[in-house]
Amino acid sequence: MLHYGKYQHVRNASWQCLIDCRVTELPLKPVQIAAQYQLQCVYDDIEQAGKVTNDGIILLSKSQSAQRQRFTVMHELGHYLLGHVGGDPRFRDSSRTEEEQEADRFAVGCLMPACVLWALHATTAKEIAVLCNVSMQAAEIRARRMQILTARNKFLTHPLERQVFEQFQQFINSQ
């Protein structure tokens, strides 16, 4: 688990990504977002998908579900934006390091922004999975976190979160 300072940094980075890319609706389009950062997504029959090469290519496996590919793009973008990319990615430690947790947290924050889910009253894993086009596994994890966040009732307290909320306002009102 990330200590709170790292959590805040990654959370803020996900909000900033949504702001910078002018994302206004769910489900977001990960490949288009990656392209805004000059990263290209390449689909192949590779078994070991989910890498960002030094030349700005995110490798994806055609054998993965669309939801898994979407998460992988945002996870790898998280590595890139959080400064984790460097050296030969073939030698990257694949264990659940802190960097992996940070990239996962970034992907969750972008794909399933809490303030938007809160505004839409999307509380169940099924609702989140459908709304955000993510796997049930990812949606279940987010649903559990949403329960904690909702109990704390601390939404829209950070300026970046308020900006994300405003960007999504038209989408929220249309649902």
Which run of H or E residues covers position 119? helix 114-119
CA count, 13 A, side-chain hemisphere, 37: 26
pTM of the full structure = 0.91
**What is the pLDDT at residue 96?**
54
Q: What number of other Cβ atoms are within 10 A of residue 125's Cβ?
A: 20
Q: Tell me: the pLDDT tens digits for 1-56?
A: 678 889 999 999 999 999 999 999 999 999 999 999 999 999 877 666 778 877 88
**Widest pairwise Cα distance in the chain:** 46
Q: For the segment 132-148, what is each residue's pLDDT rounded down to a tens digit? A: 999 999 999 999 999 99
